[in-house]
Amino acid sequence: MTGILRTGLERLLIVAAHGDDETLGAGGTIAKLTEAGVEVGLCVLTNDDSARSIAGMDVTDRTACIQAAASILGIKRVRINGYGDSRLDVVGQLELNRVVEREVRDFEPDMLFTTSMAELSVDHQLVSRAARIAGRPTRSSVREIRCFEVRSATDCAEASGVVPTFRPNCWEILDEPHLERKIEALRAYGKEVERWPNPRSERGVRALAEYRGSQIGADLAEAFELVRLVL
Ligand SMILES: [Zn+2]
């Protein structure tokens, strides 16, 4: 582990609305951190893709995909809740807060990653808020909170006039093997992997990593909004 910001970092908790958010948003960073010995936990609030039923597609349980992707990324602790996709507003903020607070209390993470508030997805916004509440500085072990971007959700927000848009101020440099593990984890989601030029295609994931890397003079990177850092 290199870098002063990593000193003392032992546990990272990822809080996501849907299985695949964690991989698209931070898969390379997760691979990098687990390789460096950081214990990573994943808390996913939904376990289906019922939003697809609206489009007349089959609904499937994503539990096995989430576990397979987590295993590829080196995540040991996976907690999947059974709420319905695109229905977290019905569940309500208070209940989501309680689920994430319980997770933070049990796992005691130093660091927390979640979705951004700059999203059109209500699920992503509710989960982002729940994670920030659960990780508030005076009531938790959390010293650092970062939000990741989930293409195409953040793209969709940008193209729909949602303000504010995703504005990264923190970059994690990746090596090629980290990106390869991210793409391998994405493949575990099967039909979630789209074809180019969809941003959720393998080529789209690589293109984003190259773009984020180029912003900071590196070959590959993932970008985050740094919400809080206590040193
Ligand atoms: Zn999502």
Nearest one of 172, 147, 154, 173 to 225, comparing CA atoms: 147
- Ligand 1 centroid vs 173 CA: distance in angstroms? 23
- Ligand 1 centroid vs 19 CA: distance in angstroms? 7
In this prediction, residue 153 carries a pLDDT of 72
Alpha carbon distance 136, 143 (integer Å): 9
- Ligand 1 centroid vs 78 CA: distance in angstroms? 17
Give me 61's structure tokens: 């349980």
In this prediction, residue 51 carries a pLDDT of 58
* Cα dihedral across residues 170, 71, 202, 17: positive or negative: negative
30 φ/ψ angles, rounded to the nearest 5 degrees: -60, -45
Residue pair 153/197 in contact (Cβ under 8 Å)? The answer is: no
- Ligand 1 centroid vs 126 CA: distance in angstroms? 11
User: Which residues, other chains included, contact 229 with Cβ-Cβ below 8 Å and sequence gap of 6+?
Assistant: 5, 143, 144
Alpha carbon distance 217, 202 (integer Å): 22
In CATH, the number for domain 9-229 is 3.40.50.10320
For the chain, 231 residues long, the average pLDDT of each consecutive 10-residue run is 59 96 97 96 89 58 93 97 91 97 97 94 95 93 96 76 87 98 94 82 95 98 96 88
Residue with tokens 């009531």: 139
- Ligand 1 centroid vs 20 CA: distance in angstroms? 7
Which class for 195: exposed (0-12), middle (13-18), buried (19 or more C-beta within 10 A)? exposed
In this prediction, residue 158 carries a pLDDT of 76
Alpha carbon distance 130, 97 (integer Å): 5
- Ligand 1 centroid vs 7 CA: distance in angstroms? 31
**Residue type at position 120:** L
User: For the CA atoms of the chain, what is the radius of gyration?
Assistant: 16
7 beta partners: none
- Ligand 1 centroid vs 17 CA: distance in angstroms? 5
In this prediction, residue 7 carries a pLDDT of 61
CA angle 174–189–92, rounded 5-degree value: 95
Alpha carbon distance 114, 176 (integer Å): 24
- Ligand 1 centroid vs 124 CA: distance in angstroms? 6
